Structure 1
Amino acid sequence: MFKSTVWRMIRFFARQLADAKRYLIAVMVMLVGTAAIQYAIPRITQSVIDQVIPKKEVGTLALSVGALLVLTAVTGLLSAGSNYLLARVSQSAVARLRNTLFGHALNQDFAFFETSKTGDLMVVLTSDVNALQGLLSPNALGLFGSILTAVVVLVIMLIQNPVLTGLIVLTFPILFIVNLFFSRLIHGAWRRVRQSTGTMNNQIQESLASILLIKSMATEDQTAATFAKVNEDNRKNQLAATTYFAEFSPVIDFVDYLGTALIIGVGAYQVMGNSFTVGGIVAYLSYLTILQAPVRSLTNLIDRFQQAVVSYERIENLLAQAPQVVDVPDPQPLPTFHEAVQFDHVDFHYGNGLPVIQDVSFDLPKGETVALVGSSGAGKTTITKLLDRFYDVTAGQITFDGIDIRQVRARDLRRQIGVVTQDVLLLDTSIRDNIAYGLGTVTDDAVWAAAEAANIADFVRSLPDGLNTRVGERGVRLSGGQKQRIAIARIFLQDAPIVVLDEATAALDNETERFIQTSFDRLMTNRTSLVIAHRLSTIQHASEILVVEDGKIVERGTHQELLYKNGRYAQLYALQFK
């Protein structure tokens, strides 16, 4: 499993870097030049020790020192150039990856976000991408240059002194075994770190989103204790991963110094036998540094590599998610709504197969208001989500002026439906931007007209910054009624022919509800409305009222007709007006 993941990750990186071939070719040329210079510098040093010093050739010494300085400067330039190009390539690849992941997440259907934890998604889109970025960094990609240099040097070393080089090469299997042993330990440790980090982020996100509940129930200590536990689990996992790496590094250092000891010991013995030179020992020590450079880089990279493999698995899981609600290959155009929406024997269930909506049929004619009432969990909100095509029906069909909504673009459908819910969603930006959200370039006059229609204009004018006033995260600086009226202004500006009101006043007090109901009445004028009613007094004038229980329509009719039947609607009405 681990090996297959690694190969998939390598192929993934290859695809990410495919568009940068010319930069990578230039980098390879620079790396080859660097390899040649790194070979030449020890050779010059060896020549100075073995020939120039014994012969006291001052002129040659000056030339040799000058050559060393020039070669060192050229190496610096080549290194800077290759690092710049690698940084450019890696940053572009990571930016594309972030765009791909974020776009892929946004294109998932509504069911995906209902079952996914925000904290887990945040880890994938931030920490996991950063982990992959570590492998695409100039230092990591520069490892290939170190390996290239090491291969060239190793061949030359074998030609010059096969015995000594052979002894050094014997240390490589030890390095491989040590790497393999610790890599598996570190891989498992970082997988646990990622899981515990996701759990911790979910705890943070849930707690901050529920701060009002925490404060009102005085559960700060309990919440802090719960967080402390998951934070402690994360600390232990982090410490375990760090411990493995801390143990790994000195073992690698010992094997590296074993190579140094072999060169000094065997090389000195060969010098004593006149089969090697002091300059050769010095050169070989330099060559050994070059050989060990990729090993040391790999040692420093192994921890990052294990994190990246775990992160790549999570990124793969996200990329493997496919939305169930998708547009057909050749969608039909959707004209402006002009006739009726029809639910025709609609059934719906989630993946578990348990029925949520069963054999629901009704018409929503243009200009009329249809209300949905019933117990909590009866399926009313699901009906509205099916209309918006957040889910696809599992049987029957929903038609929009006779066109099955599955045959049109979901975007075209949703632009003709304005939705106001009990939980108003506002962005932490200005009132203007919240009213005009998703509508492109909109004039201030149009925004003010929508605000007037929603009965929020006077309040906005009373603010020092007017339309530029920031509403705070989730509109925290506004009251529930003010947030609702901004949401209503947004629908006025959208000018959608169909309006869905999903218990939009359920969380408001009676006085605020009466005030906002005026805005709703104005919004519903000359529009087609599907209303989920919390207070039955607000839908007495609906064209048709549908009573939904257990996913089925059990009663239908006007307010007076349903009261006359003395059935479930009459029971609900009586409970509210006792």
Structure 2
Amino acid sequence: MDATQEPTSSMLDMFRFVFGKVLKNRWLLILNVAALTIITLLQFVVPQIEQYIIDSVIPNKNLTWLAQAIALLLGSAVALGIFNYLSTYYMTVMSQAAIFDLRDDLYRHILSQDTRFFESSRTGDLMTRLTSDIGNLQSLISANMLGIVGNLFTFVGVLIFIYWINWQMALAVTLTFPLEFLLYRVFRGRIHSAFQRARASQARMSNQMQQTLTQIDLIKSYTSEDLEADQFDHVSDENRKNMVAAGRNQAIFSPLVDGINTLGIAIVLLLGAYFIINDQLKIGQMVAYLSYVAMVQAPISSLTRLLNQLQQAQVSYGRVRAILDSTPQLKNAANPVAFPKLQHGITLDHVTFNYDHSKNPHNATVTDVSFQIPYGETTALVGHSGSGKTTLTRLIDRLYDLNGGDILFDDTSIKTIDIKSLRENVAIVSQDVFVIDGSIRDNVVYGRQDASDDDVLQVLKLADLADFVNGLSDGLDTQVGERGVKLSGGQKQRLSIARALLKDAPIIILDEATASLDNESEKAIQHALDNLLKSRTALVIAHRLSTIHNADQIVVLDDGQVVETGNHATLMAKNGAYAALYNAQFE
């Protein structure tokens, strides 16, 4: 399912989903329900004490009874405070545990998705779903929200009780409920739609901010600060308007519900006064009755106060559910096998692949590509930009599934190999170096957390980075900054080579690893690359053809097809496509 398409969901679906997480902590839930039950009983007792004081204590002028009743009233208030504290505290514990599980599940589910998922998703939108949308769902697991559930039980019990005391006044109050339900039905849809638009615009704001902060150098160099600010103002203003629209509907809705509740109270006062005048009701009973009417109206009042919260949560639930309902297209076989101990090499057998050009309009396709990558040797891929070189490396790492043909590791099909096992045996060094915001050690051991400092220093030496690191005051603990801003291009590239060396994978893919470096930096890094390729099966995409003279085999691609294969000398002698590419670089 496309993560951008939100599934239709009811309020019941949302509560069932969220409280499914809560049920993992059953004892906490039982403890909270017990506390809320006691709170409800205490709230029921207080009007009885008030009625007793007015109808019995005051007429009899009995100070002992008065002291006992006041003591009982104060004791009830203290007990209410204690149980309210317990309910609020343990509700927070339960809420945080449930939201931790939900956010963790969502994050892991996002990480489990394949490449196509991330091609159709925006980073800012995913961040909003992981943070703000999860936060909105957290509001469902709160003392106020669970209190509504408790109030519903109170509602039924107290409604029966007030009918037993005086059915005429109870019926008058009950007649106001359909009006409130009708108002709720009308405004629920309006507020939901407004929040749905607001969440979408908030996701666009997050995406705009993420894009701006990661491309700040481009913005500065083209002095496009005003353009970016104007674009952000546009999406921010759109979000403001949607939030105001939701607030306007809530501002109309809440006073109307309060007005209907006041109408119910007014009817009770009118009828109650009539019954008191005719000696059919006592004043204390009237006071208690008004308290019980308030308890009957409480769930509806709570629901109206929380309508905004509920609608925001329902919109967020739809956005979270859309992610959780998405399934990766790329999956393991029914009975996957471990990656084989490579002895012969990799065979591309009539490989055909097409991107979804609506999402990847610039990515090349490959058609009926066949060649060998011999074990322990270096094979170079060359060709014009867009000829399919990088596409083939992604297929070998199984970031996409083939449309036709097969890739064999010795005699084992890529389709049968466990995906994790496959990728553990392939190391990729590309021109786009990925550096995490952490220390040099963090970056080198990424993917192999059990490595010792000796292991790290050894691969740094092989990557010609040991002298640089040893010269730093913090050594391996030196922070590299976000995206490695404290390192030069060559240092970042050598860091990625050290990471690949530590992984010690039998298959190495170099995807134009030196394309972004100048000639001097490229020469400095070549020794590190030679160490990396030593005794490994390697596939190298080279921008500068002068760097692949010594490749055991060169495969020339053009428009997604193999047009020539051989070593440098034989291909130059053919004076074909490779020779044309090579000579063009030196004209």
The TM-score with structure 2 as length reference comes to 0.95
Report the counterpart of residue 308 of structure 1 in structure 2. 313
Q: 1:147-184 CA deviation, whole Å, 9 max, x = no partner? A: 22222111111100111111111111111111111111
Say whether the 8 Å CA contact 2:23–2:29 is kept in structure 1.
Answer: no
The Cα shift of 1:351 comes to 4.2
Q: 1:475 to 1:142 in 2, by over 3 A?
A: same
Report the counterpart of residue 200 of structure 1 in structure 2. 205
Say whether the 8 Å CA contact 1:336–1:416 is kept in structure 2.
Answer: no
Q: 1:559-578 CA deviation, whole Å, 9 max, x = no partner? A: 22222222222222122101
Q: 1:494 to 1:417 in 2, by over 3 A?
A: same
Report the counterpart of residue 167 of structure 1 in structure 2. 172
Say whether the 8 Å CA contact 1:369–1:544 is kept in structure 2.
Answer: yes
Give distance in 2, aligned partners of 1:414 and 1:337. Answer: 14
2:574 maps to 1:565: yes
Report the counterpart of residue 3 of structure 2 in structure 1. none
Alignment of 1:288-303 (within 5 A): 288-303=293-308
Say whether the 8 Å CA contact 1:83–1:142 is kept in structure 2.
Answer: no
2:362 maps to 1:365: no
Give distance in 2, aligned partners of 1:476 and 1:493. Answer: 23
| One-letter amino acid matched to 1:504 | A
Alignment of 1:171-570 (within 5 A): 171-351=176-356, 356-570=365-579
Q: Percent identity?
A: 45
Give distance in 2, aligned partners of 1:387 and 1:459. Answer: 34
The Cα shift of 1:3 comes to 7.8
2:11 maps to 1:6: yes
**DSSP 3-state at the match of 2:415:** helix
| One-letter amino acid matched to 2:439 | S
Give distance in 2, aligned partners of 1:550 and 1:115. Answer: 25
Give distance in 1, aligned partners of 2:383 and 2:243. Answer: 50
The Cα shift of 1:188 comes to 0.2
| One-letter amino acid matched to 2:533 | M
Report the counterpart of residue 110 of structure 2 in structure 1. 105
Report the counterpart of residue 155 of structure 2 in structure 1. 150
Give distance in 2, aligned partners of 1:98 and 1:3. Answer: 21
The Cα shift of 1:2 comes to 9.3
Say whether the 8 Å CA contact 2:7–2:321 is kept in structure 1.
Answer: no
**DSSP 3-state at the match of 1:333:** coil
Say whether the 8 Å CA contact 1:35–1:152 is kept in structure 2.
Answer: no
Structure 2: state its 5+ residue gaps.
1-5
**DSSP 3-state at the match of 2:441:** helix
RMSD of aligned alpha carbons: 1.8
The Cα shift of 1:516 comes to 1.0
| One-letter amino acid matched to 2:289 | Y
Give distance in 2, aligned partners of 1:358 and 1:323. Answer: 24
Give distance in 2, aligned partners of 1:516 and 1:4. Answer: 55
List 4+ stretches of structure 1 deviating above 6 A: none
Give distance in 2, aligned partners of 1:137 and 1:357. Answer: 55
Give distance in 2, aligned partners of 1:117 and 1:128. Answer: 15
2:86 to 73, 81, 85: 81
The Cα shift of 1:78 comes to 2.6
| One-letter amino acid matched to 1:291 | V
Report the counterpart of residue 117 of structure 1 in structure 2. 122
Report the counterpart of residue 59 of structure 1 in structure 2. 64
**DSSP 3-state at the match of 1:364:** strand
Give distance in 1, aligned partners of 2:316 and 2:209. Answer: 21
Give distance in 2, aligned partners of 1:445 and 1:17. Answer: 46
Q: 1:529-565 CA deviation, whole Å, 9 max, x = no partner? A: 1011111101121122112122111222222222222
The Cα shift of 1:25 comes to 3.2
2:585 maps to 1:576: yes
| One-letter amino acid matched to 1:235 | R
Count of paired positions: 578
Give distance in 2, aligned partners of 1:231 and 1:10. Answer: 30
The Cα shift of 1:296 comes to 2.1
The Cα shift of 1:26 comes to 3.5
| One-letter amino acid matched to 1:158 | Y
| One-letter amino acid matched to 1:263 | V
2:139 maps to 1:134: yes
The Cα shift of 1:9 comes to 1.6
| One-letter amino acid matched to 1:177 | L
Say whether the 8 Å CA contact 2:340–2:409 is kept in structure 1.
Answer: no
| One-letter amino acid matched to 1:445 | D
Q: 1:237-267 CA deviation, whole Å, 9 max, x = no partner? A: 1221222222222222212211221222221
Say whether the 8 Å CA contact 1:35–1:148 is kept in structure 2.
Answer: no
